Structure 1
Amino acid sequence: MLSPHENKLEKLDPFYRPSAPKQKTSAEIISEARNALRMVKTQRPFTPQQEQRKLFGVGSSRTPENRPPSTFSLHASSFESSDSRPISGTRLSPLELKPKAPASPNTEQDPCLSFPRPPVDPAKMRRISSARARLFRAASQGPLLPDRSLPPAEAKKLVESKGAVLMGDSMVNINGICLTKPKTLSHARSHPLQLTYDGGFRETQEQEMFKEAASLPSHLQSGGAQGKRCVTTSSCLGSWDLGGSETKAVSKGNLREKDAEKAADEAFWNTRIIPLLHELEKEENIETICAACTQLHHALEEGNLLGNKFKRRSILLKTLYKLVDVDSDLLSLKLAKIILALKVSRKNLLNACKLIFKISRNEKNDSLIQSDSILESLLEVLRSEDLQTNTEAFLYCTGAIKFLSGNPSFLSEMISRGVVEILMSLIKEINENTVARGACPPDSGHLLVQVTATLRNLVDSPLARTKLLGISALPQLCTVMELCMGDKDVCTNVARIFSKLTSYRDCCAALASCSRCYALFLNLIDKYQKQQDVVVRVVFILGNLTAKSNQAREQLCRERGSVQSLLALFRAFHHLDVRASPARAQGAAVPRPPSEAEAVLVKLTRVLANLAIHPRVGPALAADPRLVSLLLSTLEYKSLEDCEELVINTTATINNLSFYQVKNSVIRDKKLYIAELLLKLLGSRNMDGVLEAVRVFGNLSQDHEICDFIVQHNVHKFMIALLEVKHQDVCFSACGVLLNLTVDKDKRGLLKEGGGIKKLVDCLREFGPTDWQLACLVCKTLWNFSENITNASLCFGDEDTKTLLDLLSSFLDEELALDGSFDQDLKNYHKLHWETEFKPVAQQLLSRIQRHHTFLEPLPIPSC
């Protein structure tokens, strides 16, 4: 006689039926996800490498007329001979007072006066310091020149009234201004040498006068009537006050120091630089010239002569420019490296970047570039030069870096030198300039193509991805797409970057947290709906974002028109694929890569399958007749041989939608038609396709009509046969279908066909210790099957009964059941499912078998 508790157990409903609503445990949620809802994986869209290195690839949206050239010729004449004259963007206002040209001097009255001289020859520049020293020594004696604007008597009276010392009857008149002795010196100090347009120096009129006086013959300085008019006597030296003897000592010390530095620079130039320049001018052979260039660079670096402050820089550059015509990539690299180190600007900077770009187009030169450290020179241009002034130079500079980034051997060096930070700084500056102007200029757009293409190559490195996350680069990249929505090349490159980044969990989470990215991606889908290379990557990104984040699924569906945009894209490429299918059907049945339309549909069905996991989004999608119609149409004209991934993803989407038991579900309305389409998949040799079809049957078989369909078409026999596959997921799904069949009492006997009971027991023995969810399903199926049991041996068979008793007893022993070689996290996971799912069902099943099992053998039937 059964106890009240045992009677209660006997009256339990089949396990698949839902009980009263209660809060689900984590194990139940995981179990449901495994039973019905499943994330879909897919491969990242393939981007073929360009056969030729160009600024813009073959698929660029820019026409040859609207983009900078990738091929050009460079010669010595392309460089400017002088790079020192600064550019002024502002027109200078004219002088208010125009100086008057002096009248023709009267040599008899003014023997010391002469016209301004032409610019001083560069070879005489070293005399300027000594000339200035003599100038101040002479000026300290008093004014040097008479003023022609006043009669001698009046001039003498005017000067004496102010306490000035006058030599004879003369005083100084400079540009119409009468100067006393102190003013004369201060004016000379405040008017330095002026730079002329030809690169030399021009002295002011006053300085020429003082220089001429200082260079007079000694007999004019020592005495005589003429000498007294021009030079003061030595006895007057002490009357000049320069601030005391201390100031004099400091000034003399500084002058001696400067003279010593000049002498040292002169010696270094003559002994180290001049011989190397002579070597370069010989042009004997390439090896000699390249070696001389290397020595020259080291010498300039040693002498601290690099940069744009060196006075003889123009001489160096002229010599280097002449060698550009020599046909040698190695020499051109060395020349470009020195030219950039000398901080050229404007056209010369552009041509130096073009020179390196031209050489980097040939992959064979990568080793030369790497051995000569040209990369650092290119990065220094991006770091130090002004973007607005040198946009075209930046274009060819980043173009060369882009080519090098395609070579894996350069990645580590690039990242260690800060290329990620430099490129993101450029992007940020371009974004700010675009916002300020209201539009992205074409030259900035060309530059962005190179920068984003370089980043696309760099993100293959884990270190580069870490740096991008560290500097919060993903929002800036979103801004680029937002501001350059009309530039297909830029959008494609950024989409390629995101498609790589979102393949990694941390990068995917960082982009998913950027809330404005969802609207941005939907806008791109709407704008470039017919551009396969753009939308296939955008949809792939959305698939990555929605794969593991319920929040991302919800945020995407919250965007206005999100589902409509996805369905419009589905419809457009579905029609393209349908039109292309007959043509492909005429060809040989051989494996082939997916077509462009198929590639988009594969990624798109994955997004839809992921969205269906959301408990609020899934029911709405299941009730959308447009979506269900497109999915069923895909299964109608597609086979696993045509496009395996598309068929599997489509079936997975139907599986997720069939999970929801809602009244207005289109999936439920068309369940029988879906079951017929699934038969085609069950008959294939593709196990992945078979598994997806079985999963759909697992959801649909909760309906009695589908159960009748399964029996009518002998699908149950196929499910029993799948138990022998020894694949956990396949056995799990097949066991789920059999469990739903055993709910109907009339169909429980079907388990004995094909040895179903034995195969279930074998699954329990094989997978129990490693998969307690599968073990739970087996126990539930056997529980339903043995509902009206009177004798366990008659129900399960003697051998299977004994096996079940042994297995259930050992599996219910916690120490034995959980004594696996797992890490702590996995052990906790197994313990959770063992306690919440397997243990309650296994205890009930074991108790039932023990009650209805006897070890007594039945007596034989007596003979008559």
Structure 2
Amino acid sequence: MSTCSVSVWTPVNPCGNIRVRAVPDYCQPSRCVYSRNSSRKTSAEIVSEARQSLRVQTTQRPFTPRDGHRQLFGNSSVRGDHVNRPQSTFSLDAQNFDAPDSRPGSGTRLSPLEHKPKFPGRCGTGDACKAVPKPPADPLNVKRGSAGAGVQARVRLLRTGSLPTLPPLEGNTDVTERINQGPEQKQPSAKRHPGTDHTKVHGGPHKPGPHRTASESRIMQPGVDSGVRPTHCTTGQRTELGNGDNAACPEESADSSMWNNTIGPLLQQLESVAAGGSAERLCDLCDRLHGTLAEADMLGRHCKRRSGILRTLFRLIDHNSARLNLLIAKLCLALCVSGNNLLNICKLVFQISRSESNDILFQNNSIIDLLLSVLHNEDVSTCGEALLYCVGTLKFLSGNSAILRLLLDKNCIGVAQKLIQGLHAVEEIHFTIAGHILVQLTATLRNLADHPDSRPHFVSFSVLSELCLVLRRHCQDQDICINISRIYSKLSSYSECRVALAQTPDCYRLFLELLSKHRQKQDLVVRLLFTLGNLTAKNAEARLQLFQSRGCMHTLLQVYDSYQRRDASLCTPSQTGASSPGKPPAPPASVQEDDDVLVKLVRVLANMCIHPAVGPALANDATCIQLLMETLELRSVQESEELLVNVAATINNLSFYQEQSSVLRHSQLAITKLMLKLVLSSSMDSMLEATRVYGNMSKSKDVRDFIMQNKVHQLVVTLLDSKSTEMCFSACGVLTNLALDPPNRASLSLEGAAAKLSDCLRDFGPGDWQLAGQACQALWNLIGGDSEKLLETQERETLLETLATYLDEDKALKWIENEDMRDLHGACWESEFLPVAQKLMKTLQPPDQKD
């Protein structure tokens, strides 16, 4: 007898409805051996093709339930109610805001002083105390302890617009001279005299003037924000202070005119309406104010009177109108508030976004642009909490499909990528707040990944690689890990994203480390395994890289064992047996979750073993084979159908590597017995996978005897009536091997196997020449050279007529119009059908017609 080679089962060819398979070179009696056509594949070619075309398993993406309530950290967050966790609920009113947030930023940083001032020591006796200047007199009766009192005691500042040149003070005249002299004037050095009375001023006695408020007499120093600022303009190198009437520059005059004629009255209207008007009226006025400021180019921190605008806006927040507060927040962000005000504005917007009914307010509003601008420009080290609530708002809004489209159009993914890089730079110092922000940011990206137009952005901005770096640095943070795993599980279903992720260095090793570290975190484990299954589905290099990653098989099998045994106690023997009449009870939720993990994990094994360097190693891995067999034993088809189908498919792929010493080869009879419940089940998918396994393992005499003894051959013959070409092809493979034993041929004939094979050939031949060739091979072995005993005259004549028609190439391929498909069908007809059909026809012909 000739040697046996493996059976080959492959998926549907994408070019058309023809099923492309390499024809199994089953064991055949020596009398049936025929000379091969030169175009016929050798056994080595068949085995090589088999290894390249093993079936890839598919499964559904894990379901991600949407949070019922909008909050920073969901109920499943591991952060719980930790004291350092920012809150989702808080109260805000006008008192939370700082009204003096009005000083325009100069954009210039002062360099530190080089000298260190020397302070006098403790007073002793004699002249030592004379060297310390005495505090000046208080001619203006300014209250001691009030802001700016020390400066007012030294310098007498008159009302704006009537500021004369003050004579220099004795002792220390630097401040006074810098105020009174322009940059072109020389500043004479001041001579200090111990004991000098600093209340005396050269030029005669001082005549007290009228009392002034602190805001009127305060020197405008950097860092001191009064809320009322003198107008100023710069001409050449000389700076003048004035009241805006006598020494105003043209730009300042225009600003003053705009303020007096438009902006001031608008603010007065706002304050008037706020006293008893409607929120709608306030919204209209805020819109007008925003448009007026934008038209006058008075938005931003350069607006000189922004403190007055901000004070008015902050007082309106107490009206508790979502639309009004959003308009206020938009205007405040356009005025570039900072510090505590920026934080509270971000909190205010976050609070509004918590209600889905307010989503409509964000759709036709530039507030999203301003929020993205905050994320793009603000520094995490100084505005971390504000950024947290800003990203939290975007997370909520990204759950709305209409706003999701807006976020994509406004380059939200690009802004997120830049923010991630910024967080990398500061997370050593601000690790906690960076982690909180990343939770919100990755959740936002998770929502964005749902949109099909987001995939090019994820690829072009290298976000998938950036997220791998985040996983590496925050591998202990389960909230971040689960969000990123959800992103990967969504995007890895698409080829361009799989390529981008597969090109990320050490991503396989990273996923394995996370699987090992968070083995009990089911929702994380199932998504990481789903991603690995996608990466290894169509990429041979990915299969090898994953297998060669350090600790790969140890980690995968450890997870397998953990989830299989975790709920083994819940799977009673009655549950694992044949199904009882009626609908079986629903399995516990924990069993369903664990099964989901095992489905994804077994799929990874099935895809990995397609690689010719990985398959033999797995087929010889005792732990791997044992775990697969345990799954077949512990699970029932009714409760774990997808899992058992995946296990059967994995065993089928591994059966291509049955070396003499392999563990799988020594276990094939035990596996055949465990497969029996799949063959006898009511699930067509389970029956198909089990039949494929029987087709490969029935090369063993022990397996063939088990099939015949348990009447499985009767079911296999019945499967020939199936309308599924894959089911018929698998059944033909089993029958081909069963017919090797002469005692089995009679039993198969009693079941009508020959007639059904003939019908299968006639019905499916023109559309699937591989199936037609396999049916001819099964008939050839079944007849065994004595067609008269096994076929009636009418059956034999019908079969000869069918073969004669199909052996005529013009008749066999005439119905195919597409030229490319015609070439494909022609190649299959010539290599897979023609040689076997010719030999079968010679066997069926009467002796006088044979050559």
TM-score w.r.t. the length of structure 1 is 0.78
Instruction: Give the counterpart letter for 2:250 in structure 1.
Output: A
CA shift at 1:211, angstroms?
A: 12
The aligned residue for residue 610 of structure 2 is: 613
State whether residues 194 and 201 of structure 1, in contact with CA within 8 Å, keep that contact through their aligned partners in structure 2. no
| 1:197 counterpart = 2:219 | no
CA shift for structure 1 position 844: 2.8
User: What is the rounded CA distance, in whole Å, between the counterparts of 2:67 and 2:742 in structure 1?
Assistant: 65
Change in CA separation of 1:213 and 1:611 when aligned onto 2, cut-off 3 Å: closer
Aligned-residue offset at 1:672: 2.5
Distance (Å, rounded) in 2 between the aligned partners of 1:425 and 1:516: 23
Is the 2:381–2:426 Cα contact (8 Å) retained in structure 1? no
Residue 104 of structure 1: how far off its partner (Å) = 9.6
- For residue 45 of structure 1, what is the aligned residue in structure 2? 62
Give the corresponding residue for 1:849: 844
Partner of 1:286: 279
CA 1:616–1:588: 2 relative to 1, 3 Å: same
> Alpha-carbon deviations, 1:162-215, whole Å to 9, x = none?
xxxxxxxxxxx9889999999863669xxx9744613356999xxxxx999999
User: Once the 2 structures are TM-superposed, how far is the Cα of residue 483 of structure 1 from its aligned partner?
Assistant: 0.9
* Aligned equivalents of 2:186, 2:451: Cα separation in 1: 64
Question: Structure 2: how far apart are the matches of 1:257 and 1:676?
Answer: 102
Q: CA deviation at 1:47?
A: 1.1
Alignment match of 2:704 (pick from 698, 704, 707): 707
Equivalent pair of 2:575/2:635 in contact (CA under 8 Å): no
Residue 528 of structure 2 aligns with which residue?
Answer: 538
Deviations 1:581-621 (A, max 9, x none): 24995998245675222221111111122222222322222
Q: Any residues of structure 2 matched to 1:763-774 within 5 Å, and which?
A: 763-774=760-771
State the match for 1:397 in structure 2. Answer: 390
Structure 1 residues 38 and 176 mapped into 2: Cα distance closer, same or farther (>3 Å)? closer
2:754 aligned partner: 757
Distance 1:602 1:147, change over 3 A: closer
The answer as to 2:646 corresponding to 1:649 is yes
Q: Counterpart in 2 of 1:832? A: 827
Aligned-partner Cα distance in 1 for 2:366–2:401: 16
Following superposition, the deviation at residue 807 of structure 1 comes to 2.8
What is the rounded CA distance, in whole Å, between the counterparts of 1:851 and 1:411 in structure 2? 75
Query: What are the within-5 Å matches in structure 2 for residues 452-467 of structure 1?
Result: 452-467=442-457
Q: Call closer, same or farther: CA 1:816–1:263 in 2, change over 3 Å.
A: farther
Q: Does 1:262 align with 2:252?
A: yes
Question: d(CA) in 2 for partners of 1:701 and 1:214?
Answer: 103
**Structure 2 residue 662 is the aligned partner of structure 1 residue 668:** no
State whether residues 177 and 187 of structure 2, in contact with CA within 8 Å, keep that contact through their aligned partners in structure 1.
no
Secondary structure, in 3 states, of the residue corresponding to 1:44? coil
Task: Identify which of 309, 332, 337 aligns with 1:339.
Answer: 332
2:261 equivalent to 1:271: yes
The answer (yes or no) to whether the contact 2:333–2:342 under 8 Å persists in 1 is yes
Which of 537, 548, 551 is equivalent to 1:558? Answer: 548
In structure 2, the CA distance between the partners of 1:450 and 1:183, relative to structure 1 (3 Å rule), is closer
Larger Rg: 1
The separation in 2 between residues aligned to 1:764 and 1:740, in whole angstroms, is 18
Compare the two structures and name the one with the higher helix fraction. Answer: 1
Q: Give distance in 2, aligned partners of 1:46 and 1:502.
A: 15
Aligned to 1:185: 185
Give the Å deviation of 1:854: 6.1
**For the residues of structure 2 that align with 1:528 and 1:423, how far apart are their CA atoms?**
26
For residue 354 of structure 2, what is the amino acid of its counterpart? R
Confirm or deny: 8 A CA contact 1:14 1:784 kept in the other structure: no
Question: Counterparts of 1:351-500 in structure 2 under 5 Å?
Answer: 351-434=344-427, 437=428, 441-500=431-490
Structure-2 residue corresponding to 1:13: 33
Seq. identity, % = 41
Cα distance change, pair 367–845 in 1 and its aligned pair in 2 (3 A)? same
- 1:372 shift after superposition: 2.5
Structure 1 position 535, deviation (Å) = 1.0
Task: Please tell me the residue identity of whatever aligns with 2:407.
Answer: M
Q: Is the 8 A contact 2:169 2:176 kept in 1?
A: no
Asked if the contact 2:231–2:241 (Cα under 8 Å) also holds between the matched residues in 1, the reply is no
Say if 1:456 and 1:496, in contact at 8 Å, map to a contact too: yes
Gapped regions of structure 2 (runs ≥ 5): 1-27, 120-131, 139-151, 189-218, 233-237, 577-581
State the Cα deviation string for residues 51-79 of structure 1 (Å, max 9, x = none): 10111111111131231111111111111
- Cα separation, 1, equivalents of 2:357 and 2:376: 27
Q: 2:95 matched to 1:68?
A: no
Equivalent-residue separation in structure 1 for 2:450 and 2:824 (angstroms): 34
Deviation by residue 1:809-858 (Cα, 9 ceiling, x = unmatched): 33334344344557666555434322322222223333443464769xxx
Are the equivalent residues in 1 in contact too, given 2:166–2:176 (CA < 8 A)? no
Q: Distance in 2 between matches of 1:670 and 1:97?
A: 91
Cα distance, 1:849–1:580 mapped onto 2, change above 3 Å: same
Separation (CA, whole Å) in 2 of partners of 1:802 and 1:779 = 15
- DSSP 3-state at the match of 1:41: coil
Equivalent position amino acid for 1:274 in 2 = G
Of 516, 526, 550, the match for 1:526: 516
Which deviates further from its counterpart, 465-474 or 397-406?
465-474
Q: Distance in 2 between matches of 1:69 and 1:182?
A: 53
User: 1:385-405 CA deviation, whole Å, 9 max, x = no partner?
Assistant: 223221111110010000111
State the match for 1:622 in structure 2: 619
> Which of 596, 600, 604 is equivalent to 2:601?
604
Q: Answer yes or no: is the 8 Å Cα contact 2:575–2:636 preserved in 1.
A: no
**CA spacing shift, 1:183–1:784, aligned 2, 3 Å:** closer
| Partner amino acid, structure 2, of 1:680 | K
Residue in 2 aligned with 1:638? 635
Q: Normalized against structure 2, the TM-score is what?
A: 0.79
Residue 304 of structure 1 aligns to a residue whose secondary structure is: coil
Q: Hey, what's the Cα distance between the residues in 2 that align with 1:744 and 1:557? A: 40
Per-residue CA distance 1:521-576 (angstroms, 9 max, x = gap):
11001100111111111111111112222211111111122111111111111111
Distance in 1, matches of 2:113 and 2:648, equals 75
Equivalent pair of 2:155/2:176 in contact (CA under 8 Å): no
SS in 1 for 2:571: helix
Q: In the comparison of the two structures, how many residue pairs are matched?
A: 745
In the alignment, which residue of structure 2 is the partner of 1:110?
none
Cα distance in structure 2, aligned partners of 1:803 and 1:316:
97
Residue 66 of structure 1 aligns to a residue in which SS? coil
* Aligned: 1:806 with 2:796: no
1:79 alignment partner AA:
F
Name the residue aligned to 1:686: 683
SS in 2 for 1:769: helix
After TM superposition, give the deviation of residue 15 of structure 1 in Å. 11
| Aligned residues: CA RMSD | 4.0
Alpha-carbon separation, structure 1, partners of 2:814 and 2:88: 67
- Partner of 1:598: helix, strand, or coil? helix
1:721 matched residue in structure 2? 718
Q: Which runs of 5+ in 1 are unaligned?
A: 1-7, 106-113, 136-143, 150-172, 205-209, 216-254, 856-864
Aligned residue identity for 1:69: Q
Amino acid at match of 2:268: H
The structure-2 alpha-carbon separation of the partners of 1:96 and 1:629, relative to structure 1 and needing over 3 Å to count, comes to: closer
* Whole-angstrom distance in 1 between the partners of 2:489 and 2:756: 44
Contact 1:732 1:774 in 2 (8 A): yes
Partner Cα distance (2:798, 2:256) in 1 = 102
Give the distance between the partners of 1:399 and 1:773, measured in 2 at CA.
Answer: 58
Q: Tell me the SS of whatever aligns to 2:185.
A: helix
Deviation at 1:808, TM superposition (A): 2.7
